[in-house]
């Protein structure tokens, strides 16, 4: 997905066996579903390319433990742990805005 001079690579969890030189269509569907992303690693050298992920709740990614979208190191992680008492989140690639809906469940 490209928007405003930025490229967004959207996957469910991460990219198993990631190699920046490998085309995305060379991966199997399962390669995007279960691999945990290494949020300490920048995946794409081009700083205008972002890896957008879910699967791993941001409250375990963020140093402050907040259930908010994580945006660091070329990553945008949007799973804010609603099912675990966090929030449901949305990120707009056109504006960079974030929207949250608090979950009804108590945080575990």
Could you tell me the pTM of the whole model? 0.92
Q: So what's the pLDDT on residue 107?
A: 64
The pLDDT tens digits along the chain (108 residues) read 999 999 999 999 999 999 999 999 999 999 999 999 999 999 999 999 999 999 999 999 999 999 999 999 999 999 999 988 899 999 999 999 999 998 777 765
pLDDT at residue number 104:
75
Residue 106 is predicted with a pLDDT of 72
Burial pattern 23-62, b for ≥16 Cβ within 10 A else e, equals eeeebeeebbeebebebeebbeeeeebbbbbbbbbbbebb
Neighbours of 10 (CB within 10 A): 14
């Amino acid at each position: 997905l490209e928007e405003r001079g930025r490229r967004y690579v959207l996957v469910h969890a991460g990219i198993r066996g990631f190699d920046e030189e490998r085309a995305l269509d060379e991966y199997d569907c399962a390669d995007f579903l279960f691999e945990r992303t290494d949020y300490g690693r920048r995946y794409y050298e081009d700083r205008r390319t972002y890896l957008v992920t879910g699967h791993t709740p941001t409250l375990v990614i963020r140093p402050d433990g907040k259930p908010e979208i994580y945006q660091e190191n070329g990553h945008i992680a949007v799973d804010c742990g609603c099912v675990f008492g966090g929030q449901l989140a949305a990120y707009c690639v056109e504006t960079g805005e974030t929207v949250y809906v608090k979950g009804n469940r108590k945080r575990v």
